[in-house]
Each structure stands twice: as C-alpha cells, then as structure tokens.
Structure 1
Amino acid sequence: MPMKERFAAPLAVLSLVLVLVLGVGCGSKEVAPANPEAARDQVVGKTWVLHSLAGRNVVGDEQLTLELRPDGTVAGHAGCAVFSGTYTLEGATLHLSSLAAVEEKICGPSQDEQQYTYLSFLGRVASLKLDGDALDLIMEESARPLEFSTSAPGLFW
C-alpha cells in the first residue's frame, strides 16, 4: 500500500475530529449574564474601611467606615460623627441618599473637612467596583474613587 493511501484515512478522521471539536466552541449559544445579585452578596452586610478619599490620604486615628445593610439602610463612621441613610443597589449601580450625621465628638479642622468631604462624596456615588476584599465607590464626575477594604491597614502597610 502506498504511503499516501496509508495515511489518508487516519488523516481524514483526525480532520473530522478537529472540525467537530473546534465547531463546538464556535457555536452561537449565548453566555448567561453574570448574577446581578453578585455585587449585593459581596458588599452588603460587611463593614468597609476607607483607605483613600478620591486620591487623598485618610487623616486621624478614627477609621472611616461604611456598611450597607440588608434592609436598604447605610450606616458608618465619618471620623467625628456617625451617619446613616438609605441606598439602592442594582448590579454595579449604587446610590446613597438621605445621609444624616450625628456628631460624636469635636475634632480639629482637618478631620472636620475630611468628614464633610467623605459625606459629600458618598452622596455623589454612582457605581461600585469589587476586586476581592477591595471596594471602589465611583463618582460620575471624579476620576478617582473612594477606596475601601474589609480589613483595616496593618502596622506596617
């Protein structure tokens, strides 16, 4: 049997298998959309600690926090005051509203300004981005987000 005829049948079978395997991956099946509740499951019910206020370092000894609660309310610590309000979360779209603060103590000018900025920025949040235990709250008019994590910074970082 000539060599050409000897490899023709196995080559034809191999070609057919490759076409079938590659064809399965090229189908027109739609990919199921990501779970729209995934962000809610990862964000709600955790205490988030602010690390960067739209590119600014957080000053003072008090942690600035944010907690989105399952009942649609938001609460947190703004430095010298605690705050509360409501939120809506649909996919990655987040809006915080009706924010009200109750002063716990008197702070210095830099912490007062930081608190005012933090609460003002929270009221302008339009969306969120999650990456593991990191949460960025994004304002439409700002290139820099509010950066949070679920853990406080350690002694050496």
Structure 2
Amino acid sequence: MRTHMKGLAVVCFLIVLFAVAGCGSHEEPKPVVGENLRSAMVGKKWVVEELFARRMNEEVTMEFMSDGTVKAFGGCNELTGTYTLLEDGLTFGPMASTRKSCGPALDEQEYSFKTFLARVERVELDGNDLLLLSREFPGPIRLTTGGGGLFW
C-alpha cells in the first residue's frame, strides 16, 4: 500500500510540476505604460516614418522633453508645444509654429501632421517604434529613433 501511495504521490507531483512549468510561457508581453513609457519617449529624437500609413516626403521629427514640452520639425517649420502623458493616454496642447511655406506637398504634409497631433489620444511602444494613435484616423503616426546600424 505504501509503494502504491508513493507512486501516486510522485505522479501527482510530476503533474503539478509540469502544470506550473507551462504557466506563463504563453503570456502576452505587458504593454509599456506610465513612467516606463515616459522614460522610453523622453530625450530622444524621434523621426516620423509614417503618417496614416503614408511615407513622409521630408524628414519630420519630434522630441519629447522631460518638462512636458515637445519640439518638432514638420518638414518645413519648427513646432513647439506641450504634451500630457497619463499611463498610455497622450494628448498635445496647442502647437506654436514658424510660418514658412515650402510648396504644396510639404505644406500639406505639415498640415496633416499638425492636425493629427491635435487628435492623438493614445501612445504605444511597438518594439523600437512609437505609435501615436487616434480613433479618428485609420493608422498611427509611426516614429522611430532610427540609428539601426554601426556606421549610420
């Protein structure tokens, strides 16, 4: 009887061990939010790769500062304003801008960029990319810090 109980105990132990070992191996990665997201965003020069799934004609950049201000270059004009980050919610205050005209294509690109910023509601970190999202628009603003290679 003792041998049978020991064998049953070993089998139960192995079942529990395998069940516990399997737990967590299929967990989704937790989203980066709050202070972790802030530290990933702040102090880097972000380059806008896509706006509504469209590639940019001219380099558009953003830099989030630790004091809640944001500096940007829209392809023609310098932009500055404020941002508020709460968990994964992101909003921008009014953006001040220089007022040059650089031709219809760049002017339209910059106008679209500024219009989208005013409607951003959320931010996500997707690998090394930053996604600025709004329910009103079909795709995100996708930003990257670039610099993927050793010599560039």
Distance 1:117 1:66 in 2: 15
Aligned length: 142
On the 8 A contact 2:77/2:98 being kept in 1, the answer is yes
Task: Return 5-14 or 144-153, whichever deviates more.
Answer: 5-14
- Residue 91 of structure 1 deviates from its aligned partner by 1.1
Q: 1:133 aligns with which of 128, 134, 141?
A: 128
Distance 2:38 2:102 in 1: 34
Larger radius of gyration: 1
**Which residue in 1 is equivalent to 2:114?**
119
On the 8 A contact 2:33/2:88 being kept in 1, the answer is no
- Residue 10 of structure 1 deviates from its aligned partner by 2.9
Q: Percent identity?
A: 36
Instruction: Give TM-score, length-normalised by structure 1.
Output: 0.77
1:52 aligns with 2:50: yes
Q: Secondary structure at the match of 1:113?
A: helix
1:12 aligns with 2:25: no
Q: Structure 1 runs of 4+ off > 3 angstroms?
A: 18-26
**Which residue in 1 is equivalent to 2:85?**
89
1:110 aligns with 2:108: no
Aligned AA (1:112): D
Q: Deviations over 1:13-56 (max 9, x none)?
A: 21442466458999xxxxxx976311111111111100111122
Structure 2 unpaired stretches of 5+: 24-30
Aligned AA (1:40): R
On the 8 A contact 1:38/1:91 being kept in 2, the answer is no
Q: 1:43 aligns with which of 41, 44, 50?
A: 41
On the 8 A contact 1:74/1:87 being kept in 2, the answer is yes
- Residue 138 of structure 1 deviates from its aligned partner by 0.3
Aligned AA (1:100): A
User: CA 1:56/1:20 → structure 2, altered by over 3 Å: closer, same or farther?
Assistant: closer
Residues 13-28 of structure 1: pairs in structure 2 closer than 5 A: 13-18=9-14, 21=17, 22=19
Structure 1 unpaired stretches of 5+: 27-32
Q: 2:141 aligns with which of 133, 146, 151?
A: 146
Q: Over aligned residue pairs, what C-alpha RMSD do you find?
A: 2.9
Q: Secondary structure at the match of 1:86?
A: strand
Instruction: Give TM-score, length-normalised by structure 2.
Output: 0.80
